[in-house]
């Protein structure tokens, strides 16, 4: 039995402990992150950026209130992220949350600042109505500011925030060279890639036909989908650049697929011979894969004409990636009309890291082929597994000891196209190419964050329906059952303790 004095002492001690815990939590704030992708843990790149901040950073977050739960999570996650930034920057970051929907004045202010409103469906009293909401932020350092117009649910928030702070704090951006004039896409044809690169770099054209040496101040150069033949003038320039420590990305086509003509053909630019001399072979065959994208085919049934999506193995869908910074966070990339890559494994002067491979069911088809979209593919058409489609090569055979080359067996996977033919490519296609350029050029580690977001991981579609149903109900019911079992067990233990105390009282 407790007397009043003992009770007061214990209450006082509990109060002191709670106060001390709160003080310690305020000064030594931390949390445990058990997510597979360390979603709630700041990267070393972000920590380095925050430690180097030498002037205040103001973040004005324009977030609507009274939102659906899945969008409220975006606001909460962004606020949690900002709290961590404040702690890690020694108070150099200051933030405020503004509700643009509060009045016409605040909404007008948000739009004038460049924050983009979006329309969402909100259920209210059994009715669905559309509401204009804001999920954006303004980051300002001194007189310079930049905008995050819309924070997509599940997006890489840390990359958006850290890269913006880095961009504002860097006066002169390093430069990346995009090789032009060899039949490849123009700068206007790779808009998604350039938009991602522009955060940390200035992309500039490089003309190999001029005969002038490639400037060594370029962090890296990219050769994307060339179609013209390179000759005696261009390759010495490449060799000179690499031998002086330069890094090169090559995304090349060894085969050309023309769906309008229904035919394929090989492509030779001279790059294949230049790479072969370094021990890297890009096959002049079409790579096919059971895991693939689709093409749209016009069908006619009676008086009706319609488009039908048909799986097309010449468009491999790559989902096998190595554990490397270039491929971190990449989920899937489609490589239209790709070729496999092999290399000399016996050469100790050549170090190769395979970055991406096909599935376990893939194969090769001769480059001189007529496409048949109606073909019924069988298991025998895919006898090869895990063919390399992207590699990183380094070592003395490449150039000097520090030089690196990244090679992709397809040149068009990150190209948008030009004019009316331009189209949006899936984000991972652009992210993979930019990640590779980042790796060759960047020493901040920010490229790891570009794909660090909340990834949707649905149940494997290849599972049987009964198995899917069992997994769904298990996920739903198991936590409830565990709580009930725990409650029953605890109730039983407390009952036994009461019975024991009662027995002791009557002895």
Note the pLDDT of residue 98.
Answer: 93
Give pTM, 2 decimals: 0.74
The DSSP secondary-structure symbol of 119 reads E
Q: What is the dihedral of CA 479, 483, 488, 490, to 10 degrees?
A: 140
Residue extents of the structural domains in the chain: 1-26, 31-169, 175-449, 464-492
Q: Specify whether domain 175-449 bears CATH 1.20.1730.10.
A: no
User: In this predicted model, which residue has the larger pLDDT, 464 or 328?
Assistant: 328
Where are the alpha helices (H) located in 59-156, listed in sequence order?
69-88, 104-113
CATH superfamily of 31-169: Glutaredoxin (3.40.30.10)
Contact 281, 298 (CB under 8 A): no
pLDDT in the model for residue 443: 61
What whole-number distance in Å separates Cα of residue 164 and Cα of residue 397? Answer: 38
Q: How far is CA 303 from the centre of its chain?
A: 45
- Residues above pLDDT 90, as percent of the chain: 48
CB 146 within 8 A of CB 113: no
Q: Which residue has the higher pLDDT, 171 or 477?
A: 477
439 pLDDT above the threshold of 90:
yes
pLDDT at residue 505 above 60? Answer: no
Helices 44-51 & 69-88 angle (0-180, nearest 10): 50
Q: Is 489 exposed, middle or buried (0-12, 13-18, 19+ CB in 10 A)?
A: exposed
Question: What is the spatial distance between Cα 118 and Cα 157, in angstroms, rounded to a whole number?
Answer: 18
Instruction: Please check the confidence at residue 55 and state whether its pLDDT lies above 70.
Output: yes
CA dihedral 69→75→76→79, nearest 10 degrees, is 180
| Interval 71-83: pLDDT, tens | 888 888 899 889 9
Whether the per-residue pLDDT at 164 is higher than 70: the answer is yes
Q: What are phi and psi of 84, to 5 degrees?
A: -65, -40
Nearest residue to 343 via CA among 298, 305, 301, 393: 393
DSSP for 311-351, written as a single string: EEEEEEEE-EE-SSTTTTT---EE-TT---EEE-TT-TT-E
Q: Is 302 left (phi over 0), alpha (psi -120 to 50) or beta?
A: left
The sheet with strand 333-334 has its strands ordered as 292-301, 304-318, 333-334
Determine the Cα–Cα distance for residues 420 and 231; give it in Å rounded to an integer: 33
Q: Render pLDDT for 187-236 as a digit per residue (tens, 0 to 9).
A: 999 999 999 898 889 999 999 988 899 999 999 999 999 999 998 889 99
């Amino acid at each position: 039995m407790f007397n009043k004095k003992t009770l007061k002492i214990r209450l006082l001690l509990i109060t002191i402990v709670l106060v001390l815990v709160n003080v310690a939590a305020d000064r030594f704030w931390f949390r445990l992150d058990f997510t597979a992708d360390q979603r709630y843990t700041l990267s070393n790149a972000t920590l380095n950026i925050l430690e180097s901040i030498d002037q205040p950073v103001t973040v004005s977050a324009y977030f609507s209130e009274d939102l659906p739960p899945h969008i409220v999570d975006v606001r909460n996650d962004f606020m949690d992220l900002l709290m961590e930034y404040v702690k890690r920057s020694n108070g150099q970051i200051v933030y405020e949350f503004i509700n643009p929907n509060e009045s016409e004045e605040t909404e007008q202010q948000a739009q004038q600042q460049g924050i983009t409103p979006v329309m969402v469906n909100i259920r209210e009293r059994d009715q669905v109505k559309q509401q204009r909401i804001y999920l954006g932020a303004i980051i300002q350092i001194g007189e310079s500011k930049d905008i995050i117009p819309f924070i997509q649910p599940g997006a890489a928030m840390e990359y958006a925030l850290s890269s913006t702070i880095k961009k504002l704090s860097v006066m002169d951006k390093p430069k990346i060279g995009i090789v032009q004039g060899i039949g490849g896409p123009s700068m206007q044809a790779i808009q998604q890639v350039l938009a991602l690169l522009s955060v940390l770099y200035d992309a500039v054209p490089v003309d190999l036909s001029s005969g002038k040496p490639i400037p060594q101040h370029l962090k890296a150069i990219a050769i994307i989908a060339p179609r013209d033949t390179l000759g005696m003038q261009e390759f010495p320039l490449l060799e000179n650049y690499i031998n002086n420590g330069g890094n090169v990305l090559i995304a090349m086509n060894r085969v050309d697929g023309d769906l309008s003509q229904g035919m394929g053909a090989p492509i030779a630019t001279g790059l294949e011979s230049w790479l072969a001399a370094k021990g890297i072979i890009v096959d002049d065959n079409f790579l096919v894969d059971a895991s693939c994208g689709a093409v749209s085919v016009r069908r006619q049934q009676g008086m009706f004409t319609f488009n039908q999506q048909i799986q097309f193995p010449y468009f491999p869908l790559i989902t096998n990636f190595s554990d490397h910074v270039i491929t971190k966070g990449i989920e899937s990339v489609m490589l239209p009309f790709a070729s496999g890559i092999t290399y000399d494994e016996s050469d100790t002067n050549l170090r190769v890291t395979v970055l991406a491979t096909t599935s376990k069911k893939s194969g090769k088809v001769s480059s001189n082929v007529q496409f048949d979209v109606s073909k019924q593919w069988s298991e025998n058409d895919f006898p090869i597994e895990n063919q390399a489609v992207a590699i990183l090569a380094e070592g003395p055979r490449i150039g000097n000891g520090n030089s690196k080359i990244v090679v992709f067996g397809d040149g068009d996977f990150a190209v948008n196209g030009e004019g009316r033919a331009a189209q949006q490519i899936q984000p991972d296609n652009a992210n993979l190419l930019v990640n590779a350029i980042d790796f060759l050029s960047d020493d901040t580690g920010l490229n790891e964050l570009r794909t660090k977001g909340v990834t949707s991981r649905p149940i494997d579609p290849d599972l049987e329906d009964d198995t899917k149903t069992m997994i769904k109900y298990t996920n739903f019911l198991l936590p409830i059952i565990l709580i009930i079992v725990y409650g029953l067990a605890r109730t039983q233990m407390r009952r036994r303790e009461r019975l024991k105390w009662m027995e002791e009282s009557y002895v």
